[in-house]
Amino acid sequence: MKRDRLQDLEVWRFDPYRKPLLIRGCRQVGKSWLVREFGKQFESFIEVNFEKNKSVHSYFETDLDINALLEKLTLYSHIKIEPGKTLLFFDEIQACEGALQALRYFKEDRPDIHIIAAGSLLDFTLSKLGIAVGRVQFMHLYPLSFSEYLTVLGLNDWREFLFKQENDPTIATQLIEHLKNYMWLGGMPAVISAWLNEKTPLVCQARQDEIIESYQIDFYKYAKQHEITHVSSVFNAIPQLIGKKFVYANVDEHTRGEIIKKALNLLEMAGIAIPCYHTAAQQPPLSAMQNNKKFKIYYFDIGIAQRLLGLDIKQWSLNPLRLANQGGIAEQFVAQELVAYSDFRKQSALFYWSREAKSSHAEVDFIVLKKGELIPVEVKSSQKGSMKSMHLFLESHPNSMFGLKISTGSFAHQEKLIEIPLYAIESWANGK
């Protein structure tokens, strides 16, 4: 399996202003695999797992002398740590607060050492301890994007071809088939690997069930006992509410909104729930005109969302985008793609726009900022569909010169509207 972030790690390696790197992301998105794969480019690789190796915690309990620490880690691993030749990997770093705090001193005292750290549920530890600003770099890792999926299938030439934004009916037909599979598989590495090796839906769904169970077990790590039921309720409710304005009562009308809000916030910190906030979108930055009380929620992975919805594989294979909640699933896919192709150094942020009026309700699924331009994005699960909301947005937002329609159709360009297929989001997001 190949991940795009390997190229970003290569850039980090030779950056003269490099800092210790902290990789953030949901459990099982492939953080450890990514670093181990990257470690093959070095002459030596040392991995310290702080959950498995509790004895190593003692190295970080006294004054943090980085040179003395490196000597201890050399003895521990039986590998000499050499600047530029050794990659040091602190895995499950959230289990050792001293190791997390030590990262800043690597930057100050030994910037010549290549060190990467990663962990599960890391944001909960960071919210408690904080991190020295300017002493550590971040990388956000998400499930495999559709473009990465094409690469692991051996179809990287198709991925590159899409950047030309040319219509080829033969390739388009085959890409729709791959998109259909990706939309129920999702981008979790274990599920993708199962598909590559077995090509059996039942085996893949078993992997999805294991991921769901592991996430549910995690509730006990970051939620208090009285909160677990509510976290579980939100976890199961999100797939049914995708694409809709999030209303706490739609999760549980008998529970106070503040309780549901706290549960949702915990899932956001765990990386499971991805918020999409309403913005007035008159000018950048979008967050400056954000309404924190008005938002939608998306899932971290479309395959897991579909599994929680009780997807029928046979029915999906016949009509993948013509099922119940079809618009929501198409939106989920686009949200996941937009996040995947965003700047990996920053926490992803999604926005949408709506106007709630008795005589003229309108909603644009996403608002994105590309090269300083505010661009409204409409998602259609079929080629047809009204674009009334898009036109209303463009009329009331003079700083937006055109809109983007994403559907099962082809590439097209009208006066104020660009159209791209669902499978070609990367070519637009990262293209010219």
Q: What is the largest CA-CA distance in the chain?
A: 73
pLDDT at 324: 45
Tokens of 414: 């009208």
pLDDT at 130: 76
**For residue 348, what pLDDT band results from cuts at 50, 70 and 90?**
confident
**For residue 384, what pLDDT band results from cuts at 50, 70 and 90?**
low
Can you tell me the distance from the alpha carbon of 152 to that of 2, in angstroms, rounded to the nearest whole number?
6
Domains of the chain listed by start with CATH number: 5-140 (3.40.50.300), 146-429 (no CATH)
Residue 371: pLDDT over 70 = yes
- For the segment 51-62, the average pLDDT, to the nearest whole number, is 92
* pLDDT tens figures, 304-344: 999 999 888 877 777 776 644 466 899 999 999 999 999 99
pLDDT at 379: 94
Sequence-ordered list of residues with C-beta below 8 angstroms from that of 112, at least 6 positions apart, any chain = 83, 84
Q: Are 261 and 250 in contact (CB under 8 A)?
A: no
Handedness of CA 90, 93, 99, 101 (dihedral sign): positive
Mean pLDDT rounded to a whole number for the chain = 92
> Edge-to-edge, what's the strand order for the sheet holding 366-370?
366-370, 373-379, 403-407, 417-421, 412-413
Q: Which of 101, 90, 77 minimizes the C-alpha distance to 48?
A: 90
* pLDDT tens figures, 21-42: 999 999 999 999 999 999 999 9
pTM of the full structure: 0.93
- For the segment 204-233, the average pLDDT, to the nearest whole number, is 96
pLDDT at 211: 97
Residue 224: pLDDT over 90 = yes
Tokens of 141: 């890792």
- The residue among 129 and 101 whose pLDDT is bigger is 101
Sequence-ordered list of residues with C-beta below 8 angstroms from that of 234, at least 6 positions apart, any chain = 251, 260, 263, 264, 267, 273
pLDDT at 327: 60
**For residue 360, what pLDDT band results from cuts at 50, 70 and 90?**
confident
Residue 148: pLDDT over 90 = yes
* pLDDT tens figures, 286-309: 999 999 999 999 999 999 999 999
pLDDT at 346: 86
Residue 209 Cα to chain centre, angstroms: 19
Q: What is the dihedral of CA 51, 54, 60, 62, to 10 degrees?
A: 150
> Edge-to-edge, what's the strand order for the sheet holding 137-140?
44-49, 86-91, 114-118, 21-24, 137-140
Residues of the chain with pLDDT > 90: what percent?
81
- At residue 47, φ and ψ (nearest 5 deg) are -115, 130
Q: Are 42 and 129 in contact (CB under 8 A)?
A: no
